[in-house]
Amino acid sequence: MGMIDEARRTVLVVGANGFIGGYIAAALQRAGFRVLRGVRGSGEPHADERFIDLARMTTPADWRSTLAGVHIVVNAAGILRETGAKTFDAIHMRGPLALAQACVDVGVSRFVQVSALGAPEDGGFIASKHRFDDALLALPLDAVVLRPSVVYATGGSYGGTSLLRALAALPGAQWLPGDGAWPIQPIAIDDIAEVVVAACVADARGVFEIRGPAPMPLSEYQARWRRWLRIPGTRAIHVPASWISAQVRLGEWLGNGPVGETTWRMLRRGNVPREDAHAELHRAFGVAPRSLDAVLAATPSQVQDRWHAQLYFLAPALRWMIVLLWVLSGIAGLVASDTDLRALAGPSALGDALPLARAAGVVDLALAALLAIGWKPRWILGLMFASVLAYTLVFGIALPALWLEPLGGLAKNLLVLPALAVAWVLVDRR
């Protein structure tokens, strides 16, 4: 790898808050670069931040002030699924192309594009990435395109790799999509970051595929993660590929889910680079990516890693149970009779509880609907927590006998409150 000049070259990392971009930014800082983190935001950015929006910054003029003082650009931004203005064309093509053209205009010395391994026919994610790759290399700009295979990290995961780790961590047996024989050549995120650092100063230009040293079937990849997580058992349950295809189609229709059509096609086809890709990468950048065994052996798993993997399926289950509980609570408030409510309130200071019950029922149903569609889930969970806390305090003081009622209705709120807090924490899932 070349030397960084005395001026400490400045690198703008686009997508620095993302899974891959965060590791790249950290590796560049360790290597002695000054890193500017290109992130979405509002208000006043920190000294090491530049606020950007690929969906809106679609002309070179939009980028020129952002590039002030920048010597190198690394683009690690990307989306797995289209939502609103965040389309594949906007985030993967039009925004980055305007950025690259601005780099030509202001004299940025190097552009490193973190793309994706695959074929355009796999789907819009890959096709849009590769369209920009071609447009970038056609510009009069010193540029390199890196296309990684399946990416993993011992410290965290994202998207489909989170799902695979969760499947490997299931108690009793791990679940495998199809026959588990599809070949992959996984690459550690730290090794990708090392390649990016080298690419910032190397003389190489063009497209380079990044992968681990040898292919392996998906079943072996999963088994090694299970051993690393220290979860006993080698039994595997094979899930028919048709079932997974149906789930993927449902997730695409709903606009969420861990695996999209593109990832599913790539997995079935086999996410394996060209045979000479490993040697070509080493010649260009002097980096030899490590095997999965070497990476896992270098970082022993901790209990938090098992928490992360095993909470993957529990988090959405908890969310939907909360939705169901609020729906039932709302219905109960709307159908309860005045006689029952008067009997419940008795001679307490609560008085006529019917209007309050009806209003609470409507609010509960509204909160359930908003949480179900994912509208500002932290706000909704916070309102749910506040309402349960208020209900518990008011009824617990006004009607203390409810604490010891046969089915423990009020006492169960002592479990509901921390469950809501856990759901609030688990909103940030990747």
Q: Which of 79-88, 194-203, 221-230 has the lowest mean pLDDT?
A: 79-88
**pLDDT number for residue 231:** 94
- Spatial distance between the Cα atoms of 111 and 96, rounded to a whole number of angstroms: 11
**pLDDT number for residue 343:** 63
Residue 370 token pair: 């908003």
Confidence class of residue 7 from pLDDT cuts 50, 70 and 90?
Answer: very low
- Spatial distance between the Cα atoms of 247 and 261, rounded to a whole number of angstroms: 10
Mean pLDDT of 228-255: 84
Which range of 19-33, 153-167, 206-220 scores highest in mean pLDDT? It is 19-33
Residue 308 Cα distances to 168, 226, 317, angstroms:
12, 13, 15
Residue 224: its H or E element:
helix 218-228
Q: How far is CA 17 from the centre of its chain?
A: 11
Mean pLDDT of 252-261: 70
Cβ–Cβ under 8 Å, residues 86 and 58: no
Confidence class of residue 351 from pLDDT cuts 50, 70 and 90?
Answer: low
Among 399, 426, 422, 421, which residue's Cα sits nearest to residue 410? 399
**pLDDT number for residue 306:** 92
Cβ–Cβ under 8 Å, residues 298 and 153: no
Q: How far is CA 236 from the centre of its chain?
A: 26
To the question of pTM greater than 0.95 for the whole model, the response is no
**pLDDT number for residue 1:** 46
Residue 70 Cα distances to 36, 109, 200, angstroms:
8, 9, 12
Q: Give the model confidence (pLDDT) of 182-207 as tens digits.
A: 888 999 999 999 999 999 999 899 99
Residue 180 has a CB neighbour count (10 Å cut-off) of 18
Confidence class of residue 280 from pLDDT cuts 50, 70 and 90?
Answer: confident
Place of tokens 């229709």: 253
- Spatial distance between the Cα atoms of 53 and 20, rounded to a whole number of angstroms: 18
Cβ–Cβ under 8 Å, residues 59 and 4: no
Cβ–Cβ under 8 Å, residues 195 and 283: no
* Three-class secondary structure of residue 73 per DSSP: strand
Residue 47 Cα distances to 4, 13, 16, 34, 67, angstroms:
22, 14, 14, 11, 14
**pLDDT number for residue 6:** 44
Among 78, 132, 79, 131, which residue's Cα sits nearest to residue 101? 132
Confidence class of residue 358 from pLDDT cuts 50, 70 and 90?
Answer: confident
**pLDDT number for residue 303:** 93
Cβ–Cβ under 8 Å, residues 141 and 103: yes
